Amino acid sequence: MEHKRDVEYFYSLTRSDEYRSVVNAINQISPYIEEIAGALEFIRLGWLANYIRMIPLAGEIMDEATKWSGTAKNAVDAMELFPPEKVKGYVDQVKSLVKMLPLDKFRSYIQQAIK
């Protein structure tokens, strides 16, 4: 699989102790961002206050990256279990079965199989 290594790296990075530590630090400091930014503006460092105000967004982005890396890893794992060429083979088998059986008989076989 072409991007498997990248996905695994992204997944392990977003679950590393260092990454989680940074996310936790951001989440701990986020409630105080406006007070910190206000203090920076008071001492005439408004330009820095604007950057400080971006910290909560960075935390949200990092949390989303963690979720997306899990989704990507699950997709890669699923593709390994069900490679596209194998799925195509199953679909082709079903198509040929549908062609061989009249639609009414096919329905009854499906209904019996579901019961």
The pLDDT of residue 1: 65
Tell me the pLDDT tens digit for each residue of 81-92.
Answer: 888 788 888 888
Alpha-carbon distance of 115 to 103, in angstroms, equals: 19
**Which residues neighbour 110 within 8 Å (Cβ) at sequence distance 6 or greater?**
none
First-residue to last-residue Cα distance in the chain: 38
Alpha-carbon distance of 112 to 115, in angstroms, equals: 5
Tell me the pLDDT tens digit for each residue of 30-51.
Answer: 999 999 999 999 999 999 999 9
Global pTM exceeds 0.75: no
Which tokens hold the place of 96? 């040929």
Tell me the pLDDT tens digit for each residue of 50-59.
Answer: 999 999 999 9
- Whether 86 contacts 31, CB under 8 Å: no
